[in-house]
Homo-oligomer: A and B are copies of this chain.
Amino acid sequence: MTYSPVDLSQKLALFSEQWTPKIVAQMNDYHFKVVKIQGDFVWHTHPETDEVFLVLDGAMRIDFRDGRVDLRAGQLYVVPRGVEHKPYAARECALLLVEPAGTVNTGDAASGPTAPNDVWI
C-alpha cells in the first residue's frame, strides 16, 4: 500500500482566504495548520501554550510589546505562552502553524477576526 504525504504547497493552493488556519495534520493532540496572512492581525496572547510559526512562502514579522522578530521562508519562531504578539505581513505570506488542537487564532483577544479552529483541508 502506498500512503500519501501531506503536500503543503498543494494544500495552500486549495484556498485563498487569509487569516483562516486550516488543519493539515495531527500529531498526538497537536495540529499542524497552513494559513495565509497579509496586513496586521490583532494583539493577542495564548496563556496556555507556546505557538510555532514556520514561514513556507514570503516573509512576515511578529511584533511583541518589547520588540519584533522578522521571518522569511525556511525560518521558524516559537512564541512563548503568555507573550503578547501581533503577526504582520506586508505582502501575502504562507505559514505552517503548530499548536495544540483547539487553539484559537485570536487567543485571549476580546475582539478580532476569530476563525474556526477545527477546519481540515
Contacts and interface: CB of A to CB of B under 8 A. Distances in A.
**Copies of this chain held together in the complex:** 2
Interface residues of A, number: 37
B5 A70 contact: yes
A96 to B, nearest CB: 8
Nearest to A29: B50
A49 B49 CA distance: 19
Contacts of A64: 1, 3
A71 interface: yes
Contacts of A81: 28
Instruction: Give the secondary structure class of A's interface.
Output: strand
A110 interface: no
Contacts of A51: 27
Contact of A8 (B5, B76, B99): B76
Nearest to A71: B5
Interface string A1-19: 1111111110000000000
A7 B52 contact: no
Interface string A38-75: 00000000000111100010000000101111110011
5 contacts: A1-B66, A2-B68, A2-B69, A6-B77, A27-B50
